[in-house]
Each structure stands twice: as C-alpha cells, then as structure tokens.
Amino acid sequence: MHKAHAKNKASTSFFALLFAAGLLIGAIATFYITFQEVTEISAEIAALKSQLSNLSGDQNSTYQTINIYQNATAIADIYENVRESVVLVQGTTSDGGVQGSGFVYNLSGRMVVITNYHVIHDTSDVSVTFSNGNGYPAAVLGSDPYSDLAVLSVDADAKEFKPVEIVSSSTLRVGEPVIAIGNPYGLVGSLTTGVVSALGRSIMEEDYAGGYSIANIIQTSTPINPGNSGGPLLNAVGKVVGVTTAIVSDSQGLGFAVPSNTILREISALVDTGNYEGHSYLGVSGQDMSYYVAQEVDASVTYGWRIAAVTVGGPSEGKLTIGDIIIALNDIPIRNNDDLASYLEEKTLPGENLVITLVRGSSTINVTVVLGRRPEPSA
C-alpha cells in the first residue's frame, strides 16, 4: 500500500516536471520566433526609413534645382528688360578720358540719364552711348557731390530712351538679392549679382564731397568696379533701388550704392535748379564711441558719437561742447557716425529743430539745435 502510494507520487512528480519542461521549451521557442519577427520588422522599418530619406533628399534636390533654375531665369529676364536702359557715360578731363555708367529715367515726361557725380566731375565733352551702340552728346543738368549724384540731358531720338522704374529703398532688408548692370572696365552691359550686406553706411570722399560723408549708403556683396559707377542697382523684380558707386578704392568684396530714396528726394531739384540744398549741417566733428574709447575718456557709455570739435559760427556753437557724446536724435538711438549721418540725411532739413540727447560728464541731457545748410565743398 505504501509502495503503491510512493509510486503514484513519483509518477505525478515526473509528469509535473515534464510539463514544466514543456512550458519552458515552448516559451523559449515563442521568444525565439518573436525575436526573429521583431528583428525582421526592425530591418524592414530601417529599410523604409532609408528609402524615405532618399526620396526626401531627391525631392529637396529637385526643389533646389527648380529654385536655382527659376532664379537664373528671373535674372536673365531682368537683364533683358533692363539692359537697354543702361548707358555708357564718357567724357574728357585734363588727365584723359573717363567713363562710367548711367540709366534712363522718365521724370514727369522728361527723359534724363542718372549717373554718379564723380563720373562727370570736371569733365567736358560728355556723351552717352546706348546699348545699341548709338552715341549722343549730353549735358549736365544738375549734380550733388554730397550724394554722388548727377543728372544728364541727352540730345537723342526719343526711341532711344527706355526708362526704368525707381522704387523706394526703405523696404530693403539685409540679405535680399540685388543685381548691378553697368560697364566695368569698359565691358559694356555686364551683370553682377549679390545681396544687400548692410544699410545706412556712410563712406568718406575727400576729393569730391569736401571731406563730408556720403550718408545712408547701401552696402552690397555685388562687385562694383570702375566703370560700374552710375549704373542701376536692381531688386529681385528689376526695379531700381540704388545707384552703384565705385568711389571707394581697394574695397575688395564690398560694393556700395546711393539709395533710391536719395535719388527720388533730389532729382527734381537737380533738374530744376542744378543743385540740391537740402543737406542738414550740424557743424561738429567727432568719433565713434567704443568700450576702449569709453575707458580712455572715462565715459559711462560705450556707444554713440563723441564730439571732438565744434565749428566756430556753426549751428552747434554754444549748444554742444567737446566731449559731449550724442546718443539720440529726436529720440532715435544713435550708435555711431553711420547712424548720425544717415539720420541727418534721411530725416532732417536745414532750418529744422533737432533735439539731441547727449551724455555730458555724468549727466544725460537734451539740447535743441537749429540745423544749418551744409556749405559748398571747397574742392
């Protein structure tokens, strides 16, 4: 009896062990199959991701190719639309022949050519040659050395004039594409492209502008070489936003242009009176502030424009003094000479009151100056 019970108990234990072993083997088999399936699914997912990435890359490449093609086509179309408006300006000086560029503009029904002042300065026998090779005598209607602008009349057949449209430069932004067309080194009808690199620059021109800055200038990566001067700077739709100038020598990688706002502001006066008398005059000279200048003069600000001299008899005499640091004009912050010169050029006129915020010693004060008219250059 005890032996039978022991035998049955042993049999039960054996079957239980066998059952447990079966479960373990089944679990291992299931895990293996599941692992294999997961591995295969993971491989398929990786392959799909790779295909999707390749498709996306091909799509981006296609978009880039289309964009490049569209941009190139747009530039080519702009060139075709504008090239007949760009002219070659030539003249004679005591040193020999000079040449530059210009473009045709319709001023209230009168066809004129716009170019740079330095192209026609002290020049005789001025002529204009159109893109078809036809040349005609030209006369200077008006000029402004302070903005490096000149306007010419041309004794040519009406069919020669293909005017361009000038639009405001106020909406220009750094990074926008621009196009220059001109005659660099006599290579007629050359096109170069770039972007707006900076706005509100000022450039110094000793020979033509009497040592005053030419203010509110557009800086561009578009190459501007001798002969380009006076040609149009165009926006992405072929409208004039500036007049290119190669007035600054050795400016590798830098191009400059007088903004179209300056043209639009001055052109009527240049044609009607021969000059422009709207340049404001503060009658001071100075330097940009910086951290190092502030340390040197023990100033409390590192920005602004520090006065180094006040012109005797000028608008600022008795109002401003050496060492004053201009930090705002009419509540507009001034960081440096570019800001100061551009604000005076773009936003003020002679005879207007100008509220100057300045740092004098340890105090910040407001001083009002009645702006004068800039004297004629001595050159």
Q: What is the pLDDT along the chain (379 residues), one digit of tens a residue?
A: 444 444 444 455 545 554 554 554 554 445 444 555 546 656 666 665 666 556 555 545 444 444 444 566 789 999 999 999 999 999 998 888 899 999 999 999 999 999 999 999 999 999 999 999 999 999 999 999 999 999 999 999 999 999 999 999 999 999 999 999 999 888 888 999 999 999 999 988 767 777 788 999 999 999 888 889 999 999 999 999 999 997 665 556 689 999 999 999 999 999 999 999 999 999 999 999 999 999 999 999 999 999 999 999 999 999 999 999 999 999 999 999 999 999 999 999 999 999 999 999 999 999 999 999 998 876 4
Cα–Cα distance measured from residue 40 to residue 61, given in angstroms and rounded to the nearest whole number: 31
CATH of domain 280-373: 2.30.42.10
Look up 229 and say whether it is catalytic: yes
- Cα angle 269, 275, 280; round to 5: 90
The CATH architecture one would assign to domain 177-258 is: Beta Barrel (2.40)
Position 204 scores a pLDDT of 80
* DSSP, res 229: T
Position 61 scores a pLDDT of 45
* Catalytic entry in 144, 148, 338, 339: 148
Position 187 scores a pLDDT of 87
Look up 148 and say whether it is catalytic: yes
Structural domain boundaries in the chain? 177-258, 280-373
* Catalytic entry in 85, 101, 118, 169: 118
* Catalytic entry in 85, 229, 260, 342: 229
Look up 127 and say whether it is catalytic: no
Rounded to two decimals, the pTM is 0.79
